[in-house]
Structure 1
């Protein structure tokens, strides 16, 4: 007698479900890569080829073989894709020129001046990113000048000046390579003060003036690193000059030739209003010029001469020079009758001796004296401190580096 085995529908359904789960589980756990329609495998990271280490790229200034090198130009070694191992620059006597390497060992520069007409020799090496060393070698020769020229500053260390004080660097003869000289000049101010250099007086002097009057208390440092700098054809700077000074309180004189008055404004407050006699208006040779003058200096007594007007060695007290064209503020007892009423002088501002002394005692070189009302205007031809006769745009154009 045979036995018949029957499988229930429910159990067959469960077996199918288990089979599907197994297939799905296997698919989820599979580590085989999938293939895109384009035939490339995906899902895994790609790796870029490792960069090739670069050899050192060396720049030496002046380069080996260079001749007639101005000693004021940069003397340096720079390296890309590497670092400096050692640098030596040797003078003709076999002595090493002092220098310094930057913290990142990417550059080296001299810290002492080179001489004129000498040969210097490079040596040393740099290491590239590729691990290979590159030698530093060669020699260069500095220029032998036909002549060396010095220059002088009009400001001194530790001095105090007025708010309109220009800085003047003056040479004994004409400068033809003005751009080279100007690049060697710098002015540092605290607080920061906008200013510009301008060439005046037949190209023998370069002045720096602020755009506007200095703020009281400003500190100023000027550096003229002209040693080794080309000044003209075969002419080079002889030595550097520098000075640090301070701007004092604000004091402005406001004078009016038609009103015959002169006010002194200190730190925004009027401290004096003097009766004055200005230059005779009817004579262009005697009239006081309108415009911004700058105090250039002062002397307790001063002998004045003017052959054109037939006087010589007339001694006046408390003389304050405000221009190189003969204009002063000074005392004169002989014109007290006209002071505050009539202009009778030869261009100067006449005060009574007592009032002149009072003004003299409080004045600083560099104080501005603003005069209005006359028929003649102050110009650059009227003296060394005529910087403020220019508007700012015109002054900037006097720079050799103006674009």
Structure 2
């Protein structure tokens, strides 16, 4: 066996514009006050101060504060000397409660900094309606948002950008026709570090029925960050599929999460994977630089049955045997040369590969029509030197050897994700054999590797 550099298909993720970002939601509750209680509070000036400093400071704070103070003053006069004040025991009076003063609130508050791109951003009024609301960055680019059917709440509908300033505009039209302009601004977080993420299956690709979806990060993620990432991920399929995400052990390159079905994907299935990661707070790992997404197709079902005892390699396509080739597998007398039993998947292929195994005396030895099935150096490839053993004995260094003619014929049919089911050897495929050993894990164990299962 020999070691080669990895060969992965790269995803084409969607990059969020850098001028977007959003804040944590702070909701202000309207307050209904008993008349006598309100009168007592007005006597010490508490209500005016509380409302003026709280619910209205985000927009046009002076005018809104004046409006609230005016409303409250009117209520206070109504409760002054000469008014018909109900007795303590009369709690059923129809005019027991004062009108709720109109209030304009916003989340985040004006002047806020460090707002996260995926925090809730909205403005709300308790009466009247909002008109022509917009949230723009310093370049004048508007953020997408939606106005509620009642016209009283406008909410941002996309993540904002990192390290940006956003300003409100528009107006609040009250029931009496008074127009209050919306003003105020806030700033978003400037990440100390960003995390790069990538997906192994590109948009528009066609893959085999054993293909796992793999998202890798260039940093180690905490248990909390992994759970937050997993909550954000989604997989949609055109045919019913039971599948699950599992976090494999971190590597020197960072954290990785895989998705696989319980059994092989149904042939001819369309799969859409969405990973809206941009703006997600990953703690010490930072913030992801972009979203990822991919829509790909699971093609025909092609499964290779690789039986080391029969010295054959059988190709089964859509349930029918289409080819049977004589083969030679790893030599059993040397544990380091044994081809691993278990379900491998086709990872990549190349017409020519330079193979090296210094322990066995070869460096950059060219081999042809090579289909990689693990990252421990196992390939299905042509090897004229072992032709006499193909079909009758196992003499290789761990690869599956075929004749040049047969290797090329198989090479032409192989695609990423095709399962290669090796049987009849003494060594099992495991985590020690590379990046994709997903099918060597039982379904029960696979589900236990979810970050959400571990967090529950």
Shift of 1:140: 4.0
Which structure 2 residues correspond to residues 187-202 of structure 1 after superposition, within 5 A? Answer: 187-202=235-250
1:307 to 348, 358, 371: 358
Which structure 2 residues correspond to residues 1-400 of structure 1 after superposition, within 5 A? Answer: 61-62=107-108, 67-76=113-122, 87-92=133-138, 96-102=142-148, 108-122=154-168, 139-176=185-222, 177-202=225-250, 203-233=254-284, 235-400=286-451
Larger Rg: 1
- Say if 1:86 and 1:126, in contact at 8 Å, map to a contact too: no
Distance 1:93 1:162 in 2: 46
Query: So what's the TM-score if we normalise by structure 1?
Result: 0.77
The 3 A distance-change label for structure 1 pair 132 and 206 is: farther
- Say if 2:349 and 2:371, in contact at 8 Å, map to a contact too: yes
Shift of 1:59: 8.1
Distance 1:68 1:254 in 2: 56
Report the counterpart of residue 7 of structure 1 in structure 2: none
Unpaired stretches in structure 1, ≥5 consecutive residues: 1-48
Distance 1:389 1:133 in 2: 67
Shift of 1:380: 2.2
Shift of 1:303: 1.1
Q: Secondary structure at the match of 1:165?
A: coil
Shift of 1:123: 5.8
Higher helix share: 2
- Say if 2:171 and 2:180, in contact at 8 Å, map to a contact too: yes
- Say if 1:89 and 1:123, in contact at 8 Å, map to a contact too: yes
Shift of 1:316: 1.2
Shift of 1:128: 10
- Say if 1:201 and 1:384, in contact at 8 Å, map to a contact too: no
Shift of 1:206: 1.6
Q: Secondary structure at the match of 2:219?
A: coil
Distance 1:139 1:344 in 2: 72
Shift of 1:165: 0.8
Distance 1:304 1:138 in 2: 64
Unpaired stretches in structure 2, ≥5 consecutive residues: 1-93
Q: How many pairs does the alignment contain?
A: 354
The 3 A distance-change label for structure 1 pair 63 and 356 is: farther
- Which region of structure 1 is more displaced relative to structure 2, 79-88 or 203-212? 79-88
Query: So what's the TM-score if we normalise by structure 2?
Result: 0.69
Shift of 1:69: 2.6
CA RMSD in angstroms, aligned pairs only: 3.2
Report the counterpart of residue 32 of structure 1 in structure 2: none
- Say if 2:195 and 2:285, in contact at 8 Å, map to a contact too: no
The 3 A distance-change label for structure 1 pair 237 and 296 is: same
Shift of 1:99: 1.7
Bigger relative CO (Cα 8 Å, ≥ 6 apart): 2
The 3 A distance-change label for structure 1 pair 80 and 381 is: farther
Shift of 1:164: 0.8
